[in-house]
Structure 1
Amino acid sequence: MYRSILIFLLFSVVLCKKSKEGEKPEWAKKDIRDFDDADMERLFDQWEEDEEPLQSDELPEHLRPPPKIDLSNIDTSNPENLLKISKKGKTLMTFINVSTDKTKEEAEELTKLWQTGLWNNHIQAERYMVDSHRAIFLFKDGAQAWESKTFLLQQEFLESMTIENKVYESEKKHVIDEL
């Protein structure tokens, strides 16, 4: 059923081309049932020529134009500000290391709590456990990674976090009660 609809659509597109019979390329003179992948790709490209280009915010991230950066308003005394601005609007991963004295389940529960704390502060981070004591927090807006750094480094059972290959140690070391 779907195959017949696809063939009908492709056949109608080929017949609707605005060129004279003598001007058609060789591949377009073939029967639609004899088209191979390369012919279908050419037909698709021809079809896409008539489409309007996508808006810049609809493009995939690697094709978007970089944001304009106004360097006159940037505090250059803190180099992290430059990193924060340069990653604005780009996806960024941070690696979170949880204390090794926690079990895998406890580590997962802690990272869930931290993720919820970030979401409550309007910082959107996706969390992926990659090891029993290690997680990835994925930020769709890389500038939010540096905003989250302050919150995460204050958490009790966080050992360290890595942003852009720079390791930040926890400010709050956990205390192990000795029995």
Structure 2
Amino acid sequence: MRQSMFILVFLFALTFASKSKPDWANKDIRDYNDADLERLFEQWEEDEEPLPEDELPEHERKPPAMDMSNLDFTNPDSFLKQSKKGRTLMTFVSVLGNPTKEETEKITSLWQSSLQNSHIIADRFIIADDRAIFMFKDGAQAWEAKEFLIEQKQCKDVTIENQVYPGKYSKVHQEL
């Protein structure tokens, strides 16, 4: 009698437990559709703590506060520099003359090292025989790097936010 009572209670509990779950949760995992997987993911994420600000993807971070009182609106570069602070920014740099890809690699590597010695951190990517991208995690550093780069003998020009800055030794700069 006890065994039959135990089996009856067990079956009742098993039936009751399966009824408390939603229908999609009782499906075989192989039969889940996208909506079921999304609900499962939302349940998974419910109890997690939010990520700290510095670990969030860049598009989800709050932009840093800009101090409008210190901005010089007569100088558009200073305004752009402040607006790009804390944001990733790509700068295009062209090498003067007709260098090979290896020569461009060597020259831009020296520039990258010099920038890093000045605490300006940039990733460098060669995109053509005479052109490279410098990617700055803090976009405000791009303008400091620009000042250094346009002073270099092998620098043809630097492009930041579609604004071209000719190198000091380029023909364009000498014509100005």
Residue number in structure 2 paired with 1:46: 43
1:88 aligns to 2:103 (yes or no): no
Residue 121 of structure 1 and its aligned partner are, at CA, apart by 0.5
Q: 2:128 aligns with which of 128, 131, 142?
A: 131
Q: Paired residue for 1:163, among 160, 168, 175?
A: 160
| 1:99-178 equivalent positions in 2, closer than 5 A | 99-173=96-170
- Distance (Å, rounded) in 2 between the aligned partners of 1:101 and 1:33: 59
Structure of greater Rg: 2
> Post-superposition shift, 1:22?
4.1
CA contact (8 A) 2:96 2:170 kept: no
Counterpart in 2 of 1:11?
none
Q: RMSD between aligned alpha carbons?
A: 1.8
- Structure 2 segments unaligned to the other structure (5+ residues): 1-16, 172-176
- In the TM superposition, residue 21 of structure 1 has moved relative to its aligned partner by 4.8
Would the alpha carbon gap of residues 32 and 98 (structure 1) be closer, same or farther in structure 2, given more than 3 Å must change?
Answer: same
How high is the sequence identity, in percent, across the aligned residues?
58
Instruction: State the distance in 2 between where 1:124 and 1:34 align.
Output: 49
- Do residues 63 (structure 1) and 64 (structure 2) align? no
Q: 1:105: Cα distance to partner?
A: 1.8
Deviations 1:23-65 (A, max 9, x none): 5322012234543444233211111011111122211001111
How does 1:1-16 map onto structure 2 within 5 Å? none
2:24, 2:36 within 8 Å by CA — same for their partners in 1? yes
Gaps spanning 5+ residues in structure 1: where? 1-19, 175-179
Query: How many equivalent pairs are there?
Result: 155
The structural deviation recorded for 1:77 is 3.0
Task: Please give the per-residue CA displacement for 1:127-150, whole angstroms capped at 9, x wherever unaligned.
Answer: 100000010111111000011011
